[in-house]
Amino acid sequence: MTHLVRGIGVSPGVVCAPAFIVRMDFPEVPDRAVKPEHVDAELRRLREAVDYVVSHLQELGERVLQRAGPEESRIFDAQILMVQDEDFLASVETLIRNNQLSAETAYEFKALELRNLWSGAARLRERLADLHAIQLRMLNRLMGGAGHELWSIPADEQVIVVAHELSPGLTVQLDRDLVIGLISEEGTRTAHAAILAHSLGIPAVMGAAGALAAIPPGTLLLLDGQAGTILLDPTPDELDDAKTQVSRRHRLELQLEAVVDSPAMTPGGSPILLMGNVDLPEEIETAVRMGAQGVGLLRTEFLLTGRATLPSETEQADYFRRVAAAFRGHTIIIRSYDLGGDKFPAAFKAPVEANPFLGWRSIRVCLDEPEVFRPQIRAVLRAAADRDVQLMLPLVTLVEEVEQTRAIVLEEGESLRRSGIHAAESVPIGVMIETPAAVLIADRLAEVSAFFSIGTNDLTQYTLAIDRGNARLADRFTPHHPSIVRQLHQVLQVGRAAGIPVSVCGEMASESLSAVLLLGLGYDRLSVSPPALPLVKWVVRTVPEPAAARAAESALAAASAEDVTETLRSVVGEYLDVRLLDPNSALPGQRRVGTLPPGQTL
């Protein structure tokens, strides 16, 4: 048996508990025909199962609403839409009528057909786990089962759930008093289930290939949700090592508590603007508490997640005002909808594309769908009436995309003025630099942009030709690749020449070693994941500018990502314990420790 299983750490924390295996396998459905006079009864059974499963999903939504909030509960709205999909149900009914099949036989046939179709469409894979779950509920119900409880965790012990894939719906309905850790063979840091595990505070490892085969039920596991490691049957010495690791991180947390209220300033006295990235409403308070100087990236996709309808202009404006009020006196940068790729919500109908990450997404969708884009722009203008609110456009590759947006903003500003609605006439409009194309025309984009913000996640994906969601290639997906370092340097020089601010808002800014590289390149604006703010600030205040510049100079001349990383570790190691800055170390304020066997605690 494998002693150590590795995956991708997606939600930090160190926990130890027995493994609880969740196998969401489809039941064996017999090929059963029915007599012609029984066809109508089978059609009624199909509809009864739909009503039953919908009712249960509504109950789950209410339960999650009380436990996690409205954003998470909306996931079940999307699942209900899947269950009630009339096109799919009509195809099942046709099969029952024409072939005189039982409801479960016809449903299973069409379910397999749909899963195969979705598996071949990259943009639908993120929703495949939820589709799998609802179809399993339907088949269980049709075959005489309960149709709701797919698995049941014992109420007398805490466990670490191990599954092939974790759907967002499964993740949010977990009892956090019993489930203290998650392991999935599929998934990456950008999966919706990973984001939810993080927001729910459950340490999680995804992309752990072979976990189900390697981990028998009940095996004691030591899980590190940041390092992405799962230790099976840890020895007393290994548990002691884990305690030492947690203790070291705890001491760092105590050091960082004193840093939160200190200015982000280098040892040489240069101020650094540290803003926060905000994905979900509950992160607003964390960002404020961790000392964020405004919001450098306010993602807006959550406003669409799991909804059957698009959010109204007023709903969006109220949310933007809420964020701005929390950061009074600071800038709020709102990113327009970054739809497409794997992020088309239920409320938005989109065509299947062979390669959606190179297709209709982000600013392209917004400009093509004015009923989506214009209400959002009006909401931004209304929020900007008495606040420093700015608009940022994702995945820009054409100067025309910025010019068209600027024209729309002016049109909507004038429309709001004529309607007597309190709003700004316009807002500063900046672009995200996320592709080599944008890097190469940065000088032209600077002529029509108020600022640049570099999204290192997509820039790395498009430059290295590596899908950021591919668990197999996760080790090769690194912003330390020399091509990325050189592009970061180039864009900053263009921005400086044009006199516009340039910041980094991708995950790179939240990694302490990478932050040193950015500082060395000359960046003085970073937008950081809220929990990482104290650590990044500590690094800013500790590593001298000449040392950071020396590291950046070596990185620009490096031949490989390994050389860049080693250079950073060497230079930073002169001033800090590099073990505490390793990306595989848990971020401060995110540690969560579960129950260990009697007499063993971390």
Nearest to 138, CA basis, from 55, 37, 36: 55
Say whether 7 sits in a helix, a strand or coil.
Answer: coil
CA geometry: angle 143, 145, 149, nearest 5 deg? 135
Q: Which of 56, 192, 480, 481 is an active site residue?
A: 192
Residue 16 annotated among the catalytic residues of the structure = no
Kind plus residue range of the DSSP H or E element containing 298: strand 295-298
How far from 171 is each of 16, 73, 116, CA to CA, in Å?
19, 11, 23
Closest Cα to residue 587, out of 5, 8, 7, 12?
12
Dump the DSSP string for 335-368.
EPP--BTTB--TTS-----SSGGGSS-THHHHHH
Q: Which residues pair with 229 in a beta bridge?
A: 6, 224
Q: Are 534 and 260 in contact (CB under 8 A)?
A: yes
Q: For residues 275 and 292, is the Cβ–Cβ distance under 8 A? A: yes
Amino acid at 446: A
CA–CA dist 227, 242 (Å, integer):
12
Find all residues with CB under 8 Å of 126, minimum gap 6, and list them.
191, 192, 342, 343
Residue 250 a catalytic site member: no
Q: Are strands 229-232 and 8-11 parallel, antiparallel or unpaired?
A: unpaired
* Residue 200 C-beta-side C-alpha neighbours within 13 Å: 33
Contacts of residue 278, Cβ cutoff 8 Å, sequence gap at least 6? 284, 287, 295, 297, 298, 299, 323, 530
Active site residues: 192, 505
